[in-house]
Amino acid sequence: MNLSPDEIIFWQCGFFKLNATIVFTWGLMLVMAVGSLLITRNISIGLARSRWQNLLEIVATLTEKQIEEVGLGHPRKYLPFLGTLFLFVAMAALFTVFPGYEPPTGSLSTTAALALCVFVAVPLFGIIERGFGNYLKSYVQPTFIMLPFNIISELSRTLALAVRLFGNMMSGAMIIGILLTITPFIFPVVMKALGLLTGMVQAYIFFILSTVYIAAATRVNTSKSEVDPIEP
């Protein structure tokens, strides 16, 4: 039994290796890209449109609305990054219904990579929005003493993002694996449904936390403590 899909290696050449995480990520990417391409190929701007287009429109508008509700002024600017984050995590959890599939988010490497992206994106958006000086100044708010704590906060929340998603996704897979050995019938199906729900919730949490971090970094003239979210 593997704890992470990283351990399933299909091909390796020195430092380079092709493990299940990468392969399933590619698969997801392919499905998402081709699916989007097929749906948006015959896109309609009229009132009559296909169901798939409707679905994508609902997803896009809901995501945009969520970003706006969190407090980001121009949601369109952040939608590709934050929306893709949500969609990737959600799709990774959703595809667990297929037998033999291992969610890439069940690998700490993937979640760490996503957290790393957020970790880089937060200051990047902050600097774009507020300017380099203003963004750096936010680390010494309200006093200079807070600087180390702010830096620790940045690091720890990135780590928390990675570990939280990994733990939840991995535990789901682990529970299924363990249950299959104890009660091979019916009960794993229930746990699988529960796992789907958990995966969706985790996707939402990951997305909303990233949004909140970016919102906090881009907010002008606002004390950091005021917008610091309460982490679940």
Partner 1 sequence: MLIDWFTIAAQVLNFLILVWLMKRFLYKPILDAIDAREERITRELADADAKKAEAQKESAAFERKNQEFDQQRNALLSQATEEVKVERQRLLDEVLQAAEALRAKRQEALVREQQTLNDEITRRTRKEVFAITRKTLTDLAGASLEERISEVFRRRLRELDAEAKGRFAKILNTSSAPVLVRSAFELPAEQRAAIHQALNETFAAEIDVCFEIAPDLISGIELTANGRRIAWSIADYLTSLEESIGELLQGPAKPKTKPEVDPATQAEPKPKPGTQPVAAKETQ
In the complex with partner 1, the residue whose CB is nearer, 81 or 139, is 81
Amino acid at residue number 13: C
Question: Under 8 Å CB-to-CB from 96, ≥6 apart: which residues?
Answer: 103, 172, 173, 192, 195, 196, 199
Q: How far apart are CA 204 and CA 210, in angstroms?
A: 10
At closest approach, how far in Å is the CB of 81 from partner 1?
Answer: 6
In the complex with partner 1, the residue whose CB is nearer, 128 or 140, is 128
At closest approach, how far in Å is the CB of 7 from partner 1?
Answer: 9
At closest approach, how far in Å is the CB of 143 from partner 1?
Answer: 35
In the complex with partner 1, the residue whose CB is nearer, 83 or 126, is 83
In the complex with partner 1, the residue whose CB is nearer, 79 or 176, is 79
Number of CB atoms found within 10 A of residue 44's CB: 9
Q: How far apart are CA 47 and CA 30, in angstroms?
A: 29
At closest approach, how far in Å is the CB of 186 from partner 1?
Answer: 32
Residues 51-87, buried b or exposed e (16+ Cβ, 10 A)? eeeeebeeeeeebbebbbebebeebebbbebbbebbb
In the complex with partner 1, the residue whose CB is nearer, 36 or 225, is 36
Q: What is the DSSP letter of 3?
A: S
Q: Does the bond joining 142 to the residue before it have cis omega, within 30 degrees of 0?
A: yes
At closest approach, how far in Å is the CB of 84 from partner 1?
Answer: 4
Q: Contact residues for partner 1 (CB under 8 A)? A: 3-4, 6, 15-17, 19, 21-22, 25-26, 28-29, 32-33, 36-37, 40, 43-47, 49, 53, 56-57, 60-61, 64, 76, 79-81, 83-85, 87-88, 104, 107-110, 112-114, 116-117, 166
Question: Is the sign of the CA dihedral 77, 82, 83, 85 positive or negative?
Answer: positive
